[in-house]
Amino acid sequence: MTSPAIPQTEMDNLAFESRLDLGPLAEKVSAIKHEISKVIVGQNKTIDRMLVALLANGHLLLEGVPGVAKTLTAKVLSQTIDTTYSRIQFTPDLMPSDILGTSVFNMQTSTFDFKKGPIFANLVLIDEINRAPAKTQAALFEVMEERQITIDNLQFTMDQPFLVIATQNPIEQEGTYRLPEAQLDRFLFKIDVEYPTLEEEINILVKEHDFVDQVKTAQIQKVISPAELVGFQKLVKQIVVEEKVMEYIAKIVHNTRTNPMLYLGASPRASIAILNAAKGYAAINNRDFVTPEDIKEAAYPVLTHRVIVSPEREMEGVTAHDIIQQIVETIDIPR
């Protein structure tokens, strides 16, 4: 015996209605991806993670071998946003004042005037971040965490949005300095930029040939304003997260602190980062609620740079990604 069909009017009433209007956000995300695809071939997961970080108001660390378009991808993303942009090339002789700025004596007024450094921009690209010494790295601590700079008894609040995108090469060690754990913890994501597939590399060559004498980034259009981006960041904060899902996040992070394969576990800042990143994943998928899958997607780029593998496991070839994967697969998914 077949069950009676449900009238269309009742079906419409049963349809899910989003509690947040994510339509404009979805349109802008699609437009940004379209602009990036004019220059960048593939790297879909990397681009998704960059957009999530943008919506979650978090800093990014791009890691990969030379030539995989880390800097180019960051530059193209910045060009889709109608905002101020600066690039800092980190070198071993770079000083904190080269980043933050310095006080210059004004002979006309007999006073010191503060000259702002390149960090005073909405989007800052730091290329080869691991080539600067510890004192220069420390100059970024306050501005990355608190979005402010204190210098010469003056305090400057950064204009919103404020995002740092840094790149580093994990292979070359000569002339580099390992980033302090405190600074690594300030990056929302560490994204491993991988080699393209064979098909993608063919498309890269075809696209490069088609550019001829054109500047690659000249055709990129600005599709979102700073005010719109800040508005979307506030909207993403309102995405619904059930208590069981929050408990799922806490269990994952807590497991990193008790796991015998890890020398150093993740801090509560990592839990908050997963929460905010998961909201970003929900947003780019046009959902106003977080699912366990969003948590899994966020866990890897949030945690891999925040934990330290024990020396014994590291000698066996076990990586942080392997351990995070084991943790995520072990903990029961909330129903």
Q: Which CATH class is domain 239-335?
A: mainly alpha
Distance of CA 238 to the CA centre of its chain: 19
Strand partners, 148: 157
Q: Where are the beta strands (DSSP E) in the chain?
A: 59-63, 85-89, 101-106, 111-116, 123-127, 148-151, 154-157, 163-168, 187-192, 262-264, 308-309
pLDDT value of residue 335: 75
Q: Which residues contact 34 (CB under 8 A, 6 or more apart)?
A: none
pLDDT value of residue 17: 56
Fold category of 20-206 in CATH: Rossmann fold (3.40.50)
Q: Give ranges for CATH 3.40.50.300 in the chain.
A: 20-206
pLDDT value of residue 12: 45
Identity of the amino acid at 142: E
Strand partners, 224: 81
pLDDT value of residue 175: 66
Token pair 């101020």: residue: 84
Average pLDDT, the chain: 86
Q: Which residues contact 269 (CB under 8 A, 6 or more apart)?
A: 185
Q: Give ranges for CATH 1.10.8.80 in the chain.
A: 239-335
Q: What gap in Å lies between CA 150 and CA 142, rounded to an integer? A: 8
Residue numbers in the chain where pLDDT is lower than 50: 1-4, 6, 9-16
